[in-house]
Structure 1
Amino acid sequence: MLRRTYDDQTCSIARTLEVVGERWTLLIVRDAVRGVTRFDGFLASLAIARNVLSDRLAGLVRHGVLERVPYQERPPRHEYRLTAKGRELVPALLALMEWGDRHLCDESGPPVVPEHADCGGRVDVHLTCRGCSAEVVPADVVPKEE
């Protein structure tokens, strides 16, 4: 996690990085989106240290990105499910994936292609103006402080 060195800044990106900015955290969210729910599933998928995984899962639960739900009583066992807040990270994950596919992919192509569950069509992230509904390119985005 980032350490706060920008106390005098008001920045939504910095606040978001406090929750999901550590490398393992976004990979945990990626796996949760893919259907991984149990501690051992994350452990196997990520090859992460148990204590680091436990810490990151606890942080995601604390911030409401995941919820910890019991699935077995004896012995007590829990799984981690994405909340609505966690599912709202899907466009950000897709944008990162698209950027990686464009700039970091090898000749074999993207390792994963996001598809629409209903029709099988390719899913892409697009910027759209809320005012006129036009598709916007990144060069046309101007930050405006409110």
Structure 2
Amino acid sequence: MKRLRPTLIPGGYHKDERGTLSFNNNFDASNVKRIYSIANANKATIRAWQGHKIEQRWFTVVVGVFEVKLIKIDNWEQPSKDLEQHQFTITSNSMDILHVPAGYVSSIQDMVGNSILLVMADYRMGEIKDEYRFDVTYFDKH
């Protein structure tokens, strides 16, 4: 079975006297079935660690900057605490899209305040039971 890794799909923008147009012409949205946004209460809030064994996600920043950390889970009942973390900083400057394959948990933090993260998923709400959560400190390096 192919083990997918998180991938940043680069977007871009065009600016002229009328304003700015952000785009991502490399993103294939044909698998997207659900869209929602996340706005953390403040910069100190860290939404961690939540993920999916089956569902994949795509993240893009609409406003601001987010730091996203991802971990591939080895055992969903009791994951190892020293798993590799992938770290991405995503900004609203261009419409970069972070693909999070199935099998990962994420940590999401607003880095500048009042940021908005757009999340796309390949399953509808309630279509499958596939949500896993671990304490925010579970994967801390000691």
TM class by shorter chain equals: under 0.3
Higher relative contact order (CA 8 A, sep 6+): 2
Q: TM-score, normalised by structure 2?
A: 0.27
Q: TM-score, normalised by structure 1?
A: 0.26
Larger radius of gyration between Structure 1 and Structure 2: 1
> Which structure carries more helix by proportion?
1
